[in-house]
Structure formats: structure tokens, C-alpha cells
Amino acid sequence: MLSRQSASDPDGSKQEKHGMGIYDRDYYQAEQLSPLRPWDNKSMVTLLIIANLALYVANFLFSSSSNALTTTLALDSQSLWKPALWWQLLTYGFVHDPRRITHILFNMVSLYFLGRQVEERLGKWEFFRFYMLSIIICGAVWCGIHGEENLDLYGASGATTAVTMLFVFYYPQANLLLMMAFPVKAWVVGVLVIVNNLFMPMTSDGSIAYDVHLVGAALAAGYFFGGWNFGVLGTLFGNAQSMVKQKRSGLKVHRPDRDADEPSKDDIELDRILDKIHREGQDSLTSREQKFMERYSRQVRRRREQ
């Protein structure tokens, strides 16, 4: 969970500083969790790790001593006000310092050991949406805080902190190994994450973006306690794709088992929710969607009883 930022020299140039990571990395003992498979090529966590490692290797092999690739993909503190640079709100979360392997190692170890359990809970694509939005939101808030400064941000720390805290919220009594040696409950790790990021900046040299970690933790709290679900983004994208395909083909969908009239709003909503359950699992439903399914079931039972 290491986010890196560069502090400006008196002459206005950006000078890179190094800092240590959050303190440790967590490994869970899966007595109450699903067994951890060594490597799952179908997992979104696996794909995200591969993407980070591939960019790290490319950065290491092809970047000069000036660290050009890192500088290009990093998030400038003023990028939020420059629409042409908004792509940096995403790319910064996949780039790490090629000269310090601990920078990427700490983030990917957390993602590997904790992220896959969260992915199983949310579903592959909802986890992907949560992870990517964590990167974007953390970056946008960081720009809002440091917009007047000459800083760079890079690293997956905001997103991996969000994933770690979401694991803590879902499995507070799970057993974790702190620093691969000290067994603690997951909720203890959550407390340490918050306390560490609240008080470490008092003595930090400014090279670690602790505020990004806190934004990631806050996002996880909002997602868990607010009952959020980002599946609507996937639904909107899927509906847009369907409309485009339908317009290109010039065909209309015919359902012989329905009346000639147009389907009701409830029927359309039911189809959408059933498709979502098929793609992401029942746990992906929001409280509103769950209430709709309960109400729809009652209506069907009443019609059968009449």
C-alpha cells in the first residue's frame, strides 16, 4: 500500500523521495475463508497483478535513468484541471518505481492474499469496478488536496488499501499474519491501517501519500456500510452495447411468451436483475434490488392464488 509522491525542490523541479510502506503485509489463515488457490488465471486479482508486473518490467527494461515512463504515467497534482491529462487518473495506479521492488511487492502481496477473498464475495466484475473506481477516486481527491503543489503520485496503494479495508469489514474475525509472523484478527489490522495513516504524516518526509490511503479506507467504509454496488455501470454499458447491436442489425427482439403489448417496467427490471445475478451472483444486489425482488415475488404469488 505504498503511494509515492514527489516533493518540489526550491527551484520548482520535482525531486523524487523514497519512503517505507505501511508497516507490514497481511496473509490470512483460511480456517473460515475459502481455500486460497496458488494461482487462478480466471481471477480478476490475477489479471490486475499481471498488468502491474508487466508495466513494472517494461518500466525497468525500457526506461532510462530519468525514469521517463514513471513520470509520464504518474498523476500530476494539477491533472484534475487539465482534461487532456485525465487518463493519468487511472494510469498512475499501475506504475511503480522500477528502482525499488518493495514499492510494487507490498501492494501486490496485499492484493494477492486479501483481494481474492473480496473478489469472491463481490464477484469478478464488481471487484474490478470497485478496484478501478478506487484508483480514480483516490487520485481525484489527492489532486483536490494538492492541486497548488508541484507533486507526482504513483502506485496502487489507494486501491489496495481500499481492498484491504473491505476485507476487514467483511471478515473482521479472520486470522491474519502481521509481518508474516504475528497472528492477529483482521479488525486489528484495520485499526492499525487507520492509526498508521493518521499519525505517520507527522513524522514523514512527504514521500508517501498517506492521505490517499485514508481515502481508500473511507471508500471501503462507504461501500460496505452504505450498501453500495457499482453494477449499474456494467448494466449501463451492457444496455448501450445491446442498443448498438440492435440498431446495426435492424432487428427487434420478439418474445412469443409475452403479450403483444410492450413489457412492463417491472418485467424489464426483473430481466435486468436476473441477468445481474447470473453475471455477478446474488450478493451483488443492492438493498433496492432485493426489495424489488421480494415485492415482485409477492405479486406473482398473489396472481397464482387468484
With cell 469496478, the residue in question is 129
Residue ranges, comma separated, of all CATH 1.20.1540.10 domains in the chain are 4-225
Task: Give the β-pairing of 7-8 and 175-178.
Answer: unpaired
pLDDT tens-place string over residues 69-114: 888 899 999 999 999 999 999 999 999 887 778 889 989 999 999 9
Residue 183 has pLDDT above 80, yes or no: yes
Whether residue 36 has pLDDT greater than 80? no
Between residues 71 and 192, the one the model is more confident about:
192
pTM of the model as a whole? 0.69
pLDDT the model gives residue 263: 64
**Nine-digit cell at 35?**
481455500
Say what percent of the chain tops pLDDT 90. Answer: 41
Mean pLDDT of the chain: 79
The conformation of residue 290, written as its DSSP 8-state character, comes to H
Distance (Å, whole) CA 73 – CA 54:
14
2.40.50.100, 1.20.1540.10, 3.90.850.10, 3.60.20.40: CATH of 4-225:
1.20.1540.10
**Residues in the chain, overall count:** 306
Helices marked H in the chain: 44-62, 68-73, 88-91, 101-110, 116-122, 124-146, 157-170, 186-199, 210-225, 231-249, 265-280, 287-305
Helices 101-110 and 44-62: crossing angle, nearest 10°? 180
Whether pLDDT at 171 is above 70? yes
